[in-house]
Amino acid sequence: MSIHAKHFAAGQWRKPAGKTFASTSPARLTETIGEFPLGTKADADEAVAAARKAFPAWRRTSRILRAELFDKLAQLVKRETDDLATLMARECGKVVTECRAEVVEGLHMIQYVFGTGRMPMGDILSSEIAEKDAFMRRKPWGVAAVITPWNFPFAVPLWMLGPSLVEGNTVIFKPSEDTPAIGQRIVELFEEAGFPAGVINLVHGEAEAGEALVRNPSVNCVLFTGSYEVGKRIAEISASIPDRIVASETGSKSAVIVCEDAKLDLAVTSGIISAFKTSGQRCVSAGRIIVHEKLIDAYAEKFVATAKRLKIGDPLDANNFTGPVINKTALEKIERYNALSKEEGGEILLVGQAFQPDCQAGKPDLRGCFLSPHIYRIKHGPKVRCIREEVFGPHLALIPFKDNEEAVRIYNDTEYGLSLAIITESYRTMRYFRDECEYGMGYVNLPCIGAEVHLPFGGVKKSGNGHPSAAGLIEAVTHKTAWTVNHAEEVKMAQGLTTEVK
């Protein structure tokens, strides 16, 4: 069944007369998931106006009642988990087990947000004056635009929608043009959970709709996950808009560091999951595994042998490790980087190849964007692009190092700083990397993917602008106010300031 989607503004589903776009399955390019309206500036502005209008009543609603709507939403997501996972697998090509885990991650955000409803949401502070009570109280900014990527089309929107809404902001959600169907389902579930009209609004579309949201001065927060280039553009446009906060999580060239004392099997499992889960299309996916020179031969042999065995195929088949890449443009970009790795002197250990899995080979209606892992060994060096630029695909460099100081230098020598895994048995080594590397999420004896919602999610350098997502987003979607009350019968001032009026 193909979906005929609409925008959602002020509690009404609207189908504008203009152009539409199709969402197709990356596993079967002829399978259309649905037709979606291509949002225009007018659609974006209408949604912003609806959110602005709904804001005063929503911020005045009890925080606990706002939170309780998330409890209702959690019940709906539990009811729909399997259907959401299947739709996601069809639309973005991630294997259905992974999609299920993502729906659970989104559910965890909803449950977290519900739980915060009855938690303290400010601080009580001291005053120099005994009769003064001083508080830090949070206030919502107002209207938030939530612009999200295709690779986590359920959890990442909820990381942003959850904290924004529970804090009293209203939102406009623009899902990725590669995953509009799952975006549409999210908003339908919010509506069914009883969120009032105008509190959550939906605009489908591409750059025109996104740009119009960012340019609208009535939007106070832009919450974005996607490429560095788009994040930079959002920041530039936003710089001239007063009252504008941008929280962006952008590119990465994340890495696993395999130390001299690493347990080999653990290190291989960590590397494989970091590099090839989701076909390397997580923002936190490893593009580099930096391995101690004494281990690298044994590591490379085992790593390549394991990568060769990975089951890549139909995302609806739970037995597969990973599915296709998102679209032809992505496939071609990854292939260009695969070729570049050779041109730049990499020793190719496994050639990444576009292919059709057995079930679809020879059937033109089942052709998809499947690509096998590409692995090469290369020395770290200046200006080597393939080990510095984000590829967003199953493209992996194995890089040797001599000592931990060199490993830190190699790790830090990209413009990004998102995610890092250290494989070691030594707490001193772990601590050294923890303190010297530049990252937002650090893991020890784990893959460098696999965040959980109650932790902040974000990065440094070109990976983010210091406003992490998930639980950490509360800092971006609220501003802190100081609230001071005097209980004395006369005015009393801090710092010994005299109150004599003369």
Q: Rule CB under 6 A: which residues touch ligand UN1? A: 105, 151-152, 156, 225, 282-284, 449-451
Min CB(15)–ligand UN1 separation in Å: 30
> Which residue's CB is nearer to ligand UN1, number 156 or number 166?
156
> Which residue's CB is nearer to ligand UN1, number 237 or number 446?
446
* 332 included as an active-site residue: no
Query: Is 126 exposed, middle or buried (CB count within 10 Å of its CB: 0-12, 13-18, 19+)?
Result: exposed
Asked if 156 and 469 touch (Cβ cutoff 8 Å), the reply is yes
The DSSP element (H or E) to which 461 belongs, if any, is: strand 460-461
Q: What is the DSSP string of 307-336?
A: HHH--B--TT-TT-SB---S-HHHHHHHHH
User: Considering just the CA atoms, what is the radius of gyration of the chain in Å?
Assistant: 24
Asked if 288 and 255 touch (Cβ cutoff 8 Å), the reply is yes
* 249 included as an active-site residue: yes
Q: Tell me how far apart the alpha carbons of residues 502 and 490 are, in angstroms, rounded to a whole number.
A: 16
Backbone angles phi, psi at 79, to 5 degrees: -60, -35
> Which residue's CB is nearer to ligand UN1, number 64 or number 455?
455
Min CB(437)–ligand UN1 separation in Å: 17
Min CB(457)–ligand UN1 separation in Å: 7
The one catalytic residue in 283, 369, 386, 448 is 283
> Which of 290, 248, 335, 323 shows the shortest CA–CA distance to 437?
290
Asked if 171 and 144 touch (Cβ cutoff 8 Å), the reply is yes
> Which residue's CB is nearer to ligand UN1, number 47 or number 275?
275
Min CB(77)–ligand UN1 separation in Å: 16
Asked if 289 and 307 touch (Cβ cutoff 8 Å), the reply is no
Min CB(37)–ligand UN1 separation in Å: 26
> Which of 464, 466, 403, 463 shows the shortest CA–CA distance to 436?
403
> Which residue's CB is nearer to ligand UN1, number 26 or number 140?
26
Residue type at position 66: R
Q: Tell me how far apart the alpha carbons of residues 283 and 230 are, in angstroms, rounded to a whole number.
A: 14
> Which residue's CB is nearer to ligand UN1, number 179 or number 220?
179
Backbone angles phi, psi at 399, to 5 degrees: -125, 125
Min CB(441)–ligand UN1 separation in Å: 7
> For the chain, first and last CA: distance in Å?
80
> Which residue's CB is nearer to ligand UN1, number 117 or number 280?
280
Task: Give the Cα-Cα-Cα angle 82, 318, 70 (nearest 5 degrees).
Answer: 25
Min CB(250)–ligand UN1 separation in Å: 10
Q: Is 395 helix (H, G, I), strand (E, B) or coil?
A: strand
Token pair for residue 40?
A: 């225009």
Q: Tell me how far apart the alpha carbons of residues 365 and 423 are, in angstroms, rounded to a whole number.
A: 44
The one catalytic residue in 46, 167, 249, 390 is 249
Min CB(223)–ligand UN1 separation in Å: 13
- Say which residue the tokens 């303290």 belong to: 120
Neighbours of 93 (CB within 10 A): 30
Residue 170's DSSP bridge partners are: 143
Token pair for residue 63?
A: 């925080």
C-alpha distances in Å from residue 410, one per residue of 46, 303, 334, 342: 48, 20, 22, 20
Backbone angles phi, psi at 300, to 5 degrees: -60, -40
> Which residue's CB is nearer to ligand UN1, number 66 or number 108?
108
> Which residue's CB is nearer to ligand UN1, number 141 or number 224?
224
Min CB(225)–ligand UN1 separation in Å: 6
Backbone angles phi, psi at 186, to 5 degrees: -55, -45
Neighbours of 242 (CB within 10 A): 7
Which residue's C-beta sits nearest to ligand UN1?
A: 451
Catalytically active residues are 249, 283
